[in-house]
Amino acid sequence: MEEVVLKASHRTVLGKQVKAIRREGKLPAVIYGHHIDPIAIELDMRDTSRNLMGLAPSTLVTVDVEGTQHRTLVREKQRNKLTGTLLHVDFLAVSMTEVLRSQVYLELVGVSPAIKDFDGVLVTGMNEVEVESLPQNLPERIVVDISGLKEIGDGIYVRDLLVPEGVEILEEPETMVVLVTAQAVEEEEEVPEEVEELAEGPEILERGKKEGEEEQEE
């Protein structure tokens, strides 16, 4: 599993005043858990943003607060809606001897013959699953091999997922992960004859004036 270590220091600035430390390139954050009192911290904005980019929710992050290390999971990241810049991070402190729950990404690999040879469409039912395990056993992702999907109608369900020993998936076994379906056939709608005639536009008839009309117009 990927090892991520972040250096942090205690933070005394709270509330709306944290804007000041953001201008200094610092990122406000908090560490909390049922074994510790919440710890307000600040980290380097650039270093933290780089390390947390694309990080799986099940990846353990070690936060070193002035020499004291806390094993954590990233529980929430607040971002600026316009720029996407990190504004605040919540870290959940975990015990390495206690089972916990976490979301784990599903990664699709392989080529399905049903898609390649029969123009099937892959329908995805879920992108992540909730699992339970000791923190050190948490997988960063669960690989889903779709190369076994050979015919239209073949699918993979939660019961088919392979996980490391000590990891339990908490989703319903019959929940669909992926399924290959046939291409939708577009049926040509039959247009009534009257509608077709209207669609072509009205027929324009040219006619001469009736006898006597010209004199009346004058």
Q: What is the pLDDT of residues 19-76, one digit of tens each?
A: 999 999 999 999 999 789 999 999 999 999 999 998 988 999 999 999 999 999 999 9
Q: What is the CATH number of domain 4-94?
A: 2.40.240.10
Tell me if the pTM is above 0.85.
no
Which regions of the chain carry the CATH code 2.170.120.20?
101-181
Return all residues near 11 (Cβ < 8 A) that are at least 6 apart: 18, 21, 28, 29, 40, 41, 42
Query: Is the CB of residue 70 less than 8 Å from the CB of residue 63?
Result: yes
Give the CB-side neighbour count of residue 96, counting CA atoms within 13 A: 7
Q: Which two tokens stand for residue 36?
A: 């510790």
Q: Which two tokens stand for residue 98?
A: 């206690």
Which regions of the chain carry the CATH code 2.40.240.10?
4-94
Does the domain at 101-181 match CATH 2.70.240.10? Answer given as no
Give the CB-side neighbour count of residue 157, counting CA atoms within 13 A: 8
In this prediction, residue 189 has a pLDDT band, given cuts at 50, 70 and 90, of low
Report the C-alpha gap between 38 and 163 in whole angstroms. 33
- The pLDDT of residue 17 is 86
Report the C-alpha gap between 34 and 30 in whole angstroms. 14
Burial class (CB within 10 angstroms; exposed 0-12, middle 13-18, buried 19+) of 74: buried
- The pLDDT of residue 47 is 96
Residue 180: pLDDT over 50: yes
Residues 127-136, mean pLDDT to the nearest whole number: 95
- The pLDDT of residue 16 is 82
Residue type, 8: A
Query: Is the CB of residue 65 less than 8 Å from the CB of residue 41?
Result: yes
- DSSP structure string for 147-185: GG--STT-EEEGGG----TT-EE-S-TT-EEEEEEPPPP
Report the C-alpha gap between 130 and 113 in whole angstroms. 29
